Structure 1
């Protein structure tokens, strides 16, 4: 698809992957709107990049309704939605892990929020000659990482939803549905899991996303994700054990 002169919304755009995506797409001639729940953070990012922004907690129904109303009023040319906002808890499953609480938080942000926002924006996206929904998932969509167990669950769920959404919209709309699956990226959120030492720069995700959209690659693998996917489908048991080496 042509990813120039588009109006783009990036959720979780205040830092990390979202910030890098917003920066690159803006440089490529798109009108980018940042969204995030931390007002100070999203305002600072928008000011640095020279972009518009809307403060919104995507897990809050009223805030999402306000966001959608604002977009329909002030940005009725919106044609690209990038669901990037996410949260992860680093822990291992055990009897005292409080997995339910952590998974509830992760699913609210990583799964339910993009499902709700996407559905709410479909009428606006359908009005455009060409439109796209881009869900940022992870290399854990195919198999879990034991120290991110319920985060892995939430991204697997979003992967499944993305596939269903892509097929559902393919017959009678101009909306293309993409999924970007990064491996370990160096962001503030990954410091406790070795992101600074072993992670790729967020700019790599932005570049792979951009060229993936241009080439209509509906599943965009970043870093080691493509190799990990192939290994999983070749031998699931061996791939999961290798992926979690030293963690069990």
Structure 2
């Protein structure tokens, strides 16, 4: 992938991992479009960026996804990189909660179905570009689910499977499909699940940047590298 002169859309770009990715790309000669639900948070984030604009909206809502995709097509026709970073997580116990279904419904919608639909809306335009990419942000929990955020883990496992299949489906096109696989990251998003013990979100952004430079489509970060290596070794043995 080219590292400069891209037009990059980042969902969940007003804080955490998304904001660090936005900083990295905007500081390196790319136009950045950040998305978030809260206009004030978007405005605050934009003050930290160069050559960036914001689009307020909730991508978990179908009408909002359609509106945002249309705005991108009309106002940013040069868009060639889409980073699906926004997510939703609930910390609770499967054994004790009476809201498991509702939590799972919301997480699956935000972390999986909404991403599938948003990619579908933008893929025709991305395929017209000579150099394009989709980045889906999964998690170390897609390999090793945790009891504390159980259906979030499930949603990320589903996203991983979709990402791998989308990559294979688009292998003969100009659209590269990256999977960014962070471990626990110290962000506001993860504050309720031990995030203070996580890595700096800047490390995640730096690893994605290196992966773009190398055209490395799987992007494990931190402890995810160990889990990813074991997983790849197992797959290699099974396919011999």
Q: TM-score range by the shorter chain?
A: over 0.9
| Equivalence map 1:83-122=2 (5 Å) | 83-122=84-123
Matched pairs, number: 233
CA distance in 2, matches of 1:56, 1:35: 7
2:212 is matched with which residue? Answer: 213
| Contact 2:27/2:49 (<8 A) preserved | no
Confirm whether residue 24 of structure 1 aligns to residue 31 of structure 2: no
SS in 2 for 1:67: helix
Structure 1 contact 91–97 (Cα < 8 Å) conserved: no
Contact 1:79–1:128 under 8 Å retained in 2? yes
Partner SS state of residue 49, structure 1 = coil
Give how far 1:95 is off.
4.6
Counterparts of 1:1-248 in structure 2, within 5 Å, are: 1-50=1-50, 51-171=52-172, 173-196=173-196, 198-231=197-230
Any unmatched runs of 5+ in structure 2? 235-240
Q: Could you list the runs of 5+ residues in structure 1 that have no partner in the other structure?
A: 236-248
SS in 2 for 1:29: coil
2-structure distance, mates of 1:28, 1:57: 28
Alpha-carbon displacement from aligned partner over 1:131-179 (angstroms, at most 9, x marks no partner): 00000110011121111110000000000000110010112x2000000
Instruction: Tell me the C-alpha RMSD between the 2 structures.
Output: 1.4
TM-score scaled by structure 1? 0.90
Distance change in 2, residues 1:234/1:134 (3 Å): closer
